[in-house]
Copies of this chain bind each other. A is one copy, B any other.
C-alpha cells in the first residue's frame, strides 16, 4: 500500500489488468504514444505495444463501435472518451447497440467492454467540457455506470469494470486526478453495484456521487462542529443505484439529502428521490432534498460557473433545511 494519485490509480488498474489478461486492450484519442490527455495511460503503449494500446482518430462513435465488435469476439476493450460531454457523440453505440446487444441477440452476445471518461468543473472548462451526464445512462437497461470518488475507487472500480462481462461506463473526475491517498497494491477490486458508507452518522443521510462525495464529507465535517451528525454514502454506481444501502441508512436517520454535480433537474438524484420517496415514504421525517447544478449550461467565467455548480455550502444548506423544524 502506498500513496497514489487518482490518475496513477487508474493507470495501475489498467496496467495490472493488461498484465493479467491479454484480452484487455485500450482504444482512444491520444491514449497510446502520448499516454492519454491526462496521463492515465502513460507507459502502457510502451509496455504492451501499439496493437493493444491504440491511438484512434477523432471518430468516437466508430471507436465505441469497434470496441463492441471486438468484445463480441472475446477482447476486453477499454475505450477512453476524452470528456463526458462527448458521450453525446456515442449514445447510439452505447444505448442502441452495446446496452441491447446481449438482450437483443437472446443471450448470444457477451460484451465485456469498458468506456472510461471523465468530467469535472470549477476549472472553467466551459459549456462543452464540464457536464455530468450519468443520468442519461441510469435510464438505460443493459449498462453499468460507476463514478469513482477517489483513488481507491478509481482503481478498485475500474478493475471490476474490466473484469465484468457487461458494458460498463467508468466516469472519472479530472479535478481529482492529482488527489493522492493510500491505495492497495495488486488485486484490489471493488463491487460495481454497491454503495459505500464513507462516514457514519445519525441525523441525516447524504447520498452523494463522484466528486460530490468529497464535498459531502467536507460538509459533514463542518456540520459535526455544529452538532449535526451526517451519514455520508458514496453511491459509487449510477446504474444500478444501490437503493438498499441508502434505505438502510434512512432507517436510522429518516432524512435524506442527495448531492451530485449534474444538473439537478432530471439527474440521478431524481430517480433516487423518487424510488425512496415511494419505498421509504413512511420513514421520512422531512422531504428528500436534492443538491445539483442549476438549470443552465455550465459557463466559462469563474463567478458564473460557481453560481451554477453545487458545492459543500449547498449541501450544508440542504442538510439544515431537512433538519429545520
Q: Closest CB-CB distance, A94 to chain B, in whole Å?
A: 8
Known contacts A128-B96, A296-B141; A271/B281 CB under 8 A: no
Interface residue total, chain A, C-beta cutoff 8 A: 53
A92 near B92 with CB under 8 A, answer: no
A288 near B277 with CB under 8 A, answer: yes
Q: Does A73 contact B (CB under 8 A)?
A: no
A141 near B278 with CB under 8 A, answer: no
The residue among A86, A265, A268, A286 with the most chain B CB atoms within 10 A of its own CB is A265
B-binding segment of A5-13, A131-139, A214-222: A131-139
B135 near A139 with CB under 8 A, answer: yes
Contacts of A142 on B, CB cut-off 8 Å?
A: 296-297
Known contacts A100-B128, A297-B99; A274/B269 CB under 8 A: yes
Bound Cα distance A91, B89 (Å) = 7
B277 near A287 with CB under 8 A, answer: yes
Q: Does A95 contact B (CB under 8 A)?
A: yes
Q: Closest CB-CB distance, A289 to chain B, in whole Å?
A: 6
B289 near A278 with CB under 8 A, answer: yes
Q: Does A263 contact B (CB under 8 A)?
A: yes
The residue among A104, A136, A142, A274 with the most chain B CB atoms within 10 A of its own CB is A274
Q: Does A273 contact B (CB under 8 A)?
A: yes
Please list the residues of chain A having a beta carbon within 8 angstroms of any beta carbon in chain B: 85-89, 91-92, 94-96, 99-100, 103-104, 126-128, 133, 135-136, 138-142, 239, 262-263, 265-275, 277-279, 281, 284, 286-290, 295-297, 299
A sample of 29 inter-chain contacts (CB < 8 A) reads A86-B92, A88-B91, A88-B92, A88-B94, A88-B95, A96-B127, A99-B297, A103-B127, A103-B297, A103-B299, A104-B128, A104-B297, A135-B136, A135-B266, A136-B266, A139-B263, A139-B266, A141-B265, A141-B296, A141-B297, A142-B296, A266-B268, A266-B271, A270-B270, A273-B274, A273-B278, A278-B290, A281-B284, A281-B287
